[in-house]
């Protein structure tokens, strides 16, 4: 069976790589935009055969292998995990003048590494651990997908809760405004009634005073017109009170002062 295109590209990259790069003694590296791998030349064929088998099985099970710059990922819906095929090394520290030089020497053990898990040659070679690797990746993907589903559901619930809260606050604000408006109108209705009672009382007390009769009649007419103007059920127009807030009995706009050059 023909190797996957990613495997062919990785092989070409490894064979073209310089050895001893980055203090890794006798090891070839894949270049950017290739399957990430770090191997000795004698292990390239074995490692890539294993990688090709793994890749094809994963794709049949709904996964994919994606190369992003200098990293490689195994992916599925709501799942992504970095994957690296490499040869294990041992650290060697050599004295180099006044400094210590750290190098990494391969020990012939092939390993596959994910973000939180690694398989390597041991009692069983890496190839015989393939089924265990596949099961782990499938279980990890299901766990990621379940967590992603929970997050989406929680986000939907959060947004719905937020929507209901905003809806409640809007209704509450509307209810409060209507309540305040009703109370203000009740207050406005009560005050002109009290004013009319006061006017009637003035009228009854002064009716016997003939000298003040004309003056009282004028005042009574004026006072009753103001009561009708203030009454929320009548709101008789009064040009002199047209710019007055009837709830506060204060001017809606600042009055212009005498001598104001901008006054009209």
What pLDDT, in 10s, does the model give residues 237-257?
Answer: 888 888 887 777 788 776 555
Planar angle of CA 179, 183, 188, nearest 5 degrees: 145
pLDDT of the residue at 135: 97
CA atoms 58, 59, 65, 66: torsion sign: negative
- pLDDT attached to residue 4: 92
pTM: 0.67
Q: Are 168 and 160 in contact (CB under 8 A)?
A: no
| pLDDT computed for residue 264 by the predictor | 41
Q: How many residues does the chain have?
A: 264
- CA 86/CA 46 separation, integer angstroms: 12
Domain ranges in the chain are 5-121, 179-249
Low-confidence ranges of the chain (pLDDT < 70): 20-21, 207-212, 254-264
């Amino acid at each position: 069976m023909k190797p996957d295109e990613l495997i062919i590209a990785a092989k070409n990259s490894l064979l073209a790589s310089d050895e001893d790069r980055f203090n890794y003694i006798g090891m070839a590296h894949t270049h950017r935009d290739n399957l990430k791998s770090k191997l000795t030349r004698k292990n390239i064929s074995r490692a890539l055969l294993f990688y090709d088998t793994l890749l094809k099985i994963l794709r049949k099970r709904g996964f994919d292998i994606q190369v992003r710059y200098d990293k490689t990922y195994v992916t599925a819906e709501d799942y992504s995990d970095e994957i690296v095929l490499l040869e294990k090394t041992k650290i060697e520290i050599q004295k180099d003048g006044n400094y210590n030089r750290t190098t990494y020497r391969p020990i012939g053990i092939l390993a596959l590494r994910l973000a939180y898990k690694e398989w390597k040659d041991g009692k069983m070679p890496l190839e015989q651990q393939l089924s265990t690797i596949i099961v782990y990746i499938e279980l990890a993907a299901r766990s990621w997908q379940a967590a992603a589903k929970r997050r989406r559901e929680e986000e939907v619930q959060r947004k719905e809760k937020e929507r209901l809260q905003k809806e409640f606050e809007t209704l509450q604000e509307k209810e409060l405004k209507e309540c305040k408006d009703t109370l203000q109108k009740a207050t406005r209705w009560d005050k002109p009634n009290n004013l009319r009672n006061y006017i009637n009382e003035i009228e009854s007390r002064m009716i016997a005073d003939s000298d003040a009769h004309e003056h009282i009649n004028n005042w009574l007419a004026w006072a009753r017109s103001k009561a009708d103007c203030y009454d929320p059920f009548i709101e008789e127009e009064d040009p002199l009170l047209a710019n007055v807030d009837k709830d506060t009995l204060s001017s809606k706009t600042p009055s212009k002062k005498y001598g104001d050059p901008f006054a009209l």
